[in-house]
Amino acid sequence: MMAPQARKLLSADALFGMLRTGFADIAEHRPGDTDISWTDALMSAFALFSLKSPSLLAFDKERTEGNLHRVYGIERVPCDTAMREMLDPVEPASLRPLFTDIFRALQRGKALEEMVFVEGHYLLALDGTGYFSSQQIHCASCLEMHHRNGTVTYHHQMLSAALVHPDKREVIPLMPEPIIKQDGADKNDCERNAAKRLIAKLRQDHPHLKVIVTEDSLSSNAPHIEVLQDHHLHYILGVKEGDHASLFEHVAAAERAGRVLSYDREDTKTGLRHRFRFIRDVPLNEANGDLRVNFLECWEWNRDHVQHFSWVTDLRVNKGTVYQLMRGGRARWRIENETFNTLKNQGYHFEHNYGHGYQHLSVMFAGLMMLAFLVDQVQQLCCPLFQAVWAKLGSKRRLWEKMRALFYAYALESMRHLFEALLYGWKKMAPILVLDSS
Ligand SMILES: [Zn+2]
């Protein structure tokens, strides 16, 4: 029986090799005063998230160094304390080239073509999420919430960005931007500033990428839209009547004057009915009258159930485009459903505290977990062998459990070897001989 063929350069094994090279570049700038190499420390932390090991301790105890060496190229695995100490001072921004390397490999392998949304443009969903909160544990990178009674809650948040597509479950995350407290800034400022940084870096890394940004209604404000425009990014952004009162009043007045267009659509296949209402060139709000946007509203009926959505966009709104724009606006949910919910509930232990550190450890771990998630998403998108194993085992959780069980018990040559064993069975494989030296 032949294993399904995969695109070799996008296989987990090829990507692990690429990451090792990237980690070695980070390691070059660090003093080598321990007997564990920096590359090994970084690759070990990555392997922890790649295997979805529930804790550093479990990873340490159950590790099989032979497999970590053969599959991940790690010479020596640090103990959990050494790993924490080594990673804590590393600037999380140093992970960005690794995300870019994988993105370029996807582009070269033409794997992103199926993620194109319209006319060569990708949909990029942006959203913030929290992954840590404590009243006691904190570090130099923590956001702080000061309560009236004098107590402080420390927490971590990040702004994530991922290519999404309405028809695809796979998402391609970019390097997340940590949301960090600046003096005198409130939470919204922090998120807005993080968006500014993320967008500037996106354009640095991908100067010519055609992008339509999709976000929730918190992002529909003039300063943010100006940042998007300055960086040549299109947008489909949620708006809410409660937060954008003057915009909705303007639309209501235009409706009374007969200037709002509408379009009804019925999909006989799915039984869904849509009503679209749209108007071009309206002011986003009173304070920023010169910022003009196109407005689109949609009702969707599914038998008795009705849902309502509204967006502003710089893309043309007409009968020919509104259905596709609606799908693009709603694809924003993929960053919550397929990214954050997967990280939190599908075995990645996103909110679990692997160790907080004093400087960057917590942010580094979050970045490395996103990197492991990216490699997994590439497998889900491009690797028929991974897809076959996932289909066979039925759920991601079960897939990771089986993967770990095999990894800890059998001698493996590569990730491909592991996936093949999961698909075809491993009865004929020789178990590792464990010698009890006690
Ligand atoms: Zn912290």
The pLDDT of 345-365, averaged and rounded, is: 86
Looking at mean pLDDT, say which of 71-80, 160-169, 328-337, 417-426 comes out highest.
160-169
pLDDT score of 40 more than 60: yes
The mean pLDDT value for 302-326 works out to 95
pTM of the model: 0.92
Kindly give the distance from the C-alpha atom of residue 134 to the centroid of ligand 1, in angstroms, as a whole number: 9
Q: Residue 334: CB partners within 8 Å, gap ≥ 6?
A: 125, 162, 164, 165, 168, 169, 171
Q: pLDDT class for 361, splitting at 50, 70, 90?
A: very high
Neighbours of ion ligand 1 (CB under 5 A): 139, 141-142, 362
400 Cα–ligand 1 center, Å: 28
CA of 228 to the centre of ligand 1 (A): 30
Locate 87 and state its tokens.
């990673």
pLDDT band at 233 (very low <50, low <70, confident <90, very high): very high
Percent of the chain's residues with pLDDT above 70 = 92
DSSP 3-state assignment of 258? coil
Q: How far is the CA of 410 from the centre of ligand 1 (A)?
A: 37
Report the separation in Å between the CA atom of 185 and the middle of ligand 1, taken as the mean of its atom positions: 17
Q: Measure 354 CA to ligand 1 centroid, in angstroms.
A: 12
* Ligand 1 geometric centre to CA of 184 (Å): 18
**Distance from residue 291's CA to the centre of ligand 1 (Å):** 38
Q: How far is the CA of 156 from the centre of ligand 1 (A)?
A: 6
Among residues 279, 286, 309, which one has the least CA distance to residue 297?
A: 309
Cα–Cα distance list, 376 to 20, 30, 72, 288, 295 (Å): 16, 29, 15, 43, 37
Looking at residue 23, its amino acid is: F
Distance from Cα 244 to the centre of ligand 1, integer Å: 34
Identify the burial level of 44 via C-beta atoms within 10 angstroms of its C-beta, where 0-12 means exposed, 13-18 middle and 19 or more buried. Answer: buried
Alpha-carbon span 156 to 355, nearest angstrom? 13
Cα 139 to ligand 1 centroid, rounded to whole Å:
4
Q: How many Å apart are CA 57 and CA 40, to the nearest integer? A: 17
Please give the distance, rounded to the nearest whole angstrom, from the Cα atom of residue 128 to the centre of ligand 1: 16
What are the pLDDT digits (tens) for 390-409?
999 999 999 999 999 898 88
Distance 115 CA to ligand 1 centre (A): 35
Q: Ligand 1 center to residue 101 CA distance, Å?
A: 28
Q: What is the tens place of the pLDDT at every residue in 174-210? A: 999 999 876 666 666 688 899 999 999 999 999 999 9
In angstroms, rounded to a whole number, what is the distance separating the alpha carbons of residues 139 and 357? 6
